[in-house]
């Protein structure tokens, strides 16, 4: 919220008003172009532009639509041009997975996330999601549509609950969610690596009640991270952070929604077995 203090103008009397001494005109004291900018004490200020302008909810919405739109577009192209039977499918899928991981780490350690990084991340994420979705669609017909709808509903319900139930995000809540998310991610990575050396790895994604429980935990973490994203965006807008921070907010929101979609895709597949 911008505040301004009015400045009272003062009139200066001519100390020689009572004298009738004639003085010769010597021209302007300050020759040169006249200053037309804001005067000291004036409430006028030039309209901020670019990154100087504070972030708004509209900025975050537009950037998020761009980011998620690129994910969907890349996933659709992958779906059409790279079927699982293609010889380039595994190469593209593996490269996109590595790029997604590297770009996520780069974004996490940067103070601000530039637009090109978010767009490249969205494209690589789209290739990965497109390939991942194809594999599940071959095994379970119609599961991709179910997972997309479930993600959409979960995001809307979370936003509604955050907005109307006055959910408060405390520092302790943030630490617990972030610690649980990192621990879950590391555990899934270890399980994935071990699956190359032993069937099923740790058995966290092999089926049964354990895998359903793991998927439920993944979905819950996705929803809790959505709450953190909404809180981060709201706090940023209220604090008047620069407008370019909207790209960081869009990046986090896109990453969380993709996480939620993949976990819901897995959970639905386990329930349909």
Domain-located, residue 16: no
pLDDT value for 192: 84
Q: What is the pTM of this model?
A: 0.78
pLDDT value for 48: 52
pLDDT tens digit sequence for 245-270: 999 999 999 999 999 999 999 999 99
DSSP 3-state assignment of 54? strand
User: How many domains would you assign to the chain?
Assistant: 1
pLDDT tens digit sequence for 200-233: 778 788 777 889 999 999 999 999 999 999 999 9
Tokens (6 digits) for 7: 């400045």
DSSP 3-state assignment of 127? helix
As a whole number, mean pLDDT of residues 117-143 equals 94
Can you name the residues that pair with 49 across neighbouring β-strands? Answer: none
Domain-located, residue 140: yes
Tokens 């960081």 sit at which residue?
A: 248
Cα–Cα distance, 91 to 15 (Å, whole number): 88
Sequence-distant (≥ 6) Cβ neighbours of residue 106 within 8 angstroms = 117
Domain-located, residue 104: yes
pLDDT value for 49: 52
Say whether pLDDT at 239 is over 80: yes
Domain-located, residue 39: no
**Phi and psi at residue 193, to the nearest 5°:** -65, -45
pLDDT tens digit sequence for 32-90: 444 444 444 444 444 455 557 899 999 999 999 999 999 999 999 999 998 888 888 88
Among the listed ranges 11-15, 21-25, 72-76, 82-86, which one has the minimum average pLDDT value?
11-15
Can you name the residues that pair with 54 across neighbouring β-strands? Answer: 242
Residues in the chain: 273
Domain-located, residue 67: yes
Q: Which domain holds residue 112?
A: 55-271
Domain-located, residue 25: no
CA torsion sign, 237 to 239 to 240 to 243? negative
Say whether pLDDT at 146 is over 60: yes
As a whole number, mean pLDDT of residues 139-167 equals 93
Cα–Cα distance, 97 to 132 (Å, whole number): 10
Report the chain's mean pLDDT, rounded to a whole number. 82
Domain-located, residue 47: no
Report the percent of the chain where pLDDT is more than 70.
81
As a whole number, mean pLDDT of residues 4-9 equals 36
Cα–Cα distance, 29 to 135 (Å, whole number): 81
Domain-located, residue 13: no
As a three-state string, the secondary structure of 198-253 is CCCCCCCCCCCHHHHHHHHHHHHHHHHHHHHHHHHHHHHHHHCCEHHHHHHHHHHH
Cα–Cα distance, 16 to 170 (Å, whole number): 68
Tokens 């194809």 sit at which residue?
A: 134
Say whether pLDDT at 21 is over 50: no
Sequence-distant (≥ 6) Cβ neighbours of residue 112 within 8 angstroms = 242, 244, 245, 247, 248
Residue 133 DSSP symbol: H
């Amino acid at each position: 919220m911008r505040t301004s203090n009015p400045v009272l103008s003062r009139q200066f009397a001519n100390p020689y008003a009572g004298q009738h001494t004639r003085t010769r005109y010597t021209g302007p004291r300050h020759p040169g172009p006249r200053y037309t900018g804001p005067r000291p004490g004036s409430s006028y200020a030039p309209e901020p532009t670019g990154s100087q302008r504070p972030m708004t909810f509209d900025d975050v919405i537009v950037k998020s639509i761009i980011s998620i739109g690129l994910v969907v577009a890349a996933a659709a192209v992958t779906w059409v041009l790279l079927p699982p039977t293609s010889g380039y499918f595994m190469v593209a899928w593996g490269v996109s997975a590595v790029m997604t991981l590297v770009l996520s780490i780069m974004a996490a350690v940067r103070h601000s996330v530039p637009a090109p990084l978010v767009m490249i991340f969205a494209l690589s994420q789209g290739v990965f999601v497109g390939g991942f979705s194809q594999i599940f669609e071959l095994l379970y017909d119609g599961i991709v549509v179910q997972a997309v709808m479930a993600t959409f509903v979960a995001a809307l319900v979370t936003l509604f609950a955050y907005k109307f139930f006055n959910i408060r995000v405390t520092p302790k809540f943030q630490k617990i969610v972030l610690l649980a998310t990192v621990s879950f991610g590391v555990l899934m990575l270890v399980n994935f690596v071990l699956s190359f050396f032993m069937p099923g790895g740790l058995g966290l994604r092999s089926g049964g009640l354990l895998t359903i429980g793991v998927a439920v935990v993944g979905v819950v973490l996705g929803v809790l991270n959505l709450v953190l994203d909404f809180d981060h965006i709201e706090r940023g807008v209220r604090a008047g952070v620069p407008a370019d921070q909207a790209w960081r907010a869009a990046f986090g929101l896109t990453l969380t929604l993709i996480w939620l979609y993949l976990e819901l895709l897995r959970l639905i597949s386990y329930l349909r077995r």
